[in-house]
């Protein structure tokens, strides 16, 4: 029987073998952390601590009154050494709180546990999600409390938990589904209570048979009204719109959101964070990170504190190999190459992929041969080669007319391009140009 999937997409090698059987290992407490005030989509946080102040694990260090925002918390017990601008893993410098650890063990500042969450009000539960600083941990980092409070005119009838983890190399969600099954299902049940829905689906790609079986067994044992859906292995199966198409056979309209077709999608890591926040009162101060690739000596899945420098995590994994040439935050399809290993992990850091030099260096970009391969691969039915060219030439309005803002930046077009043209990079630049154009138009108006 053919497994559910979406239209178009690509089939890169998954390279999951490095870490798919590696148990999640808890990292030792870092000596220092850098807590970025911008770890989410929306308004950045404002510092609420002072230099020299003693703080506890889980204590708020940055917050914002803006609705689309999320507070950030200290991930260790220590002293604020500095508040300034430091290099961020997505590029550039942003304001961060530099904390030096002063205690051998955590001294937690916990929120009151909501042990009776089944009977708690929706507002109370969603306020806890916000207070805990929970955002989408699949990479987008959209504030979860916003996603769980759709407008009154949007009827939500289903919820999808995203366990696809379609990005090559990454196995953090895979291992979580095997090792933290009960916590994931509890978090999913809490999310569904907040949304007021009864139909829950867990989408998992078929290259994770142990995760599928473990989740199905736990669902049966816990008597949850969830359905585990085994999906065809194809990239980007884990993208929200693709996942909805595969699981529910619903097409999110152009420029629309999942709520427009009556559903909400959250990541495995987000469900764990929700369970921790509600049941134990812990803020989001740690996450599972896959450290992998042929450029690292000991590939691992680790539970790391937010703000830990990349270098510290790499050292724990045996360090980089001599032949390592590139380090990504995230996977190779959508990840960001790093130029400084002192950058801290943030809430959106699902993996650190280290690649080594093999064979001939990558070919330089050649002229487009009009083969249409990128068009055949694009899951959003765009014209990547045309949009990328318009972006390169600075024709911002024309690229917007062709739907550049609908691009999900999955990288499928660049992956299949025989001319090695960095299509998705040009499209990313074009989206920034469109945003700047809109800003100027708004100021002029």
**Domains in the chain, please, with CATH?**
1-27+109-359 (3.40.50.11540), 373-444 (no CATH)
Cβ atoms 40, 130 nearer than 8 A: no
Give Cα separations from 77 to 45, 292, 326, 340 (angstroms). 20, 29, 33, 26
Instruction: Give the pLDDT score at 358.
Output: 62
Percent of the chain with pLDDT strictly greater than 90: 93
- Supply the pTM of this predicted model: 0.95
Instruction: Write the pLDDT tens digit of every residue in 342-374.
Output: 999 999 999 999 999 764 455 688 999 999 999
Cα separation, 429 vs 388, whole angstroms: 9
Q: What is the mean pLDDT of the chain?
A: 95
Instruction: Write the pLDDT tens digit of every residue in 236-279.
Output: 999 999 999 999 999 999 889 999 999 999 999 999 999 999 99
Cα separation, 235 vs 420, whole angstroms: 19
Instruction: Write the pLDDT tens digit of every residue in 389-419.
Output: 999 999 999 999 999 999 999 999 999 999 9
Instruction: Write the pLDDT tens digit of every residue in 4-52.
Output: 999 999 999 999 999 999 999 999 999 999 999 999 999 999 999 999 9
Task: State the Rg of the chain over Cα.
Answer: 21
Which residues lie below 8 Å from residue 378, measured CB to CB, with a gap of 6+? 8, 384, 412, 413
**Helix, strand, coil abundance in the chain, percent, nearest 5:** 30, 20, 45
| Residue 68: pLDDT over 80 | yes
Cβ atoms 391, 426 nearer than 8 A: yes
| Residue 139: pLDDT over 90 | no
Instruction: Give the pLDDT score at 92.
Output: 87
């Amino acid at each position: 029987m053919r497994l559910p999937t979406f239209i178009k997409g690509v089939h890169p090698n998954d390279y999951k073998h490095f870490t798919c059987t590696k148990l999640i290992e808890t990292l030792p407490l870092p000596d220092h952390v850098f807590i970025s005030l911008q770890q989410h989509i929306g308004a950045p946080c404002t510092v609420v601590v002072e230099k020299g102040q003693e703080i506890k694990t889980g204590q708020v260090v940055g917050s914002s009154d803006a609705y689309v925002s999320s507070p950030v918390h200290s991930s260790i017990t220590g002293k604020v050494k500095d508040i300034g601008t430091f290099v961020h893993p997505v590029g550039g410098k942003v304001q961060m709180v530099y904390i030096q650890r002063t205690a051998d063990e955590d001294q937690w500042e916990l929120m009151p546990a909501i042990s009776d969450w089944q009977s708690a009000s929706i507002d109370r539960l969603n306020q806890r999600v916000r207070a805990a600083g929970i955002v989408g941990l699949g990479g987008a980092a959209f504030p979860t409390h916003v996603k769980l409070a759709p407008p009154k005119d949007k009827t939500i009838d289903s919820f999808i938990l995203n366990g696809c983890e379609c990005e090559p190399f990454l196995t953090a969600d895979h291992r979580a589904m095997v090792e933290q099954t009960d916590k994931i299902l509890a978090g999913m049940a809490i999310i569904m209570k907040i949304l007021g829905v009864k139909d829950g689906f867990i989408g998992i790609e078929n290259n994770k048979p142990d995760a599928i079986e473990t989740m199905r067994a736990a669902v049966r044992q816990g008597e949850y009204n969830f359905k585990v859906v085994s999906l065809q292995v194809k990239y980007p199966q884990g993208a929200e719109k693709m996942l909805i198409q595969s699981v529910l056979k619903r097409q999110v309209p152009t420029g629309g959101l999942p709520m427009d077709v009556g559903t909400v999608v959250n990541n495995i890591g987000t469900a764990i964070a929700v369970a921790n926040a509600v049941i134990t009162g812990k803020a989001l101060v740690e996450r599972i990170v896959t450290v992998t690739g042929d450029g690292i000596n000991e590939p691992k899945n680790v539970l790391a504190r937010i703000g830990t420098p990349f270098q510290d995590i790499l050292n724990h994994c045996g360090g980089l190999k001599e032949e390592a040439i590139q380090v990504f935050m995230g996977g190779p399809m959508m990840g960001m190459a790093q130029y400084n290993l002192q950058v801290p992990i943030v809430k959106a850091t699902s993996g650190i992929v280290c690649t080594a030099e093999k064979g001939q260096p990558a070919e330089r970009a050649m002229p487009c041969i009009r083969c249409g391969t990128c068009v055949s691969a694009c899951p959003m039915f765009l014209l990547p080669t045309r949009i990328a060219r318009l972006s390169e030439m600075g024709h911002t309005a024309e690229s917007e007319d062709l739907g550049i803002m609908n691009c999900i930046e999955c990288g499928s077009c660049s992956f299949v391009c025989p001319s090695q043209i960095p299509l998705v990079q040009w499209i990313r630049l074009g989206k920034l140009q469109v945003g700047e154009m809109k800003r100027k138009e708004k100021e002029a108006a």
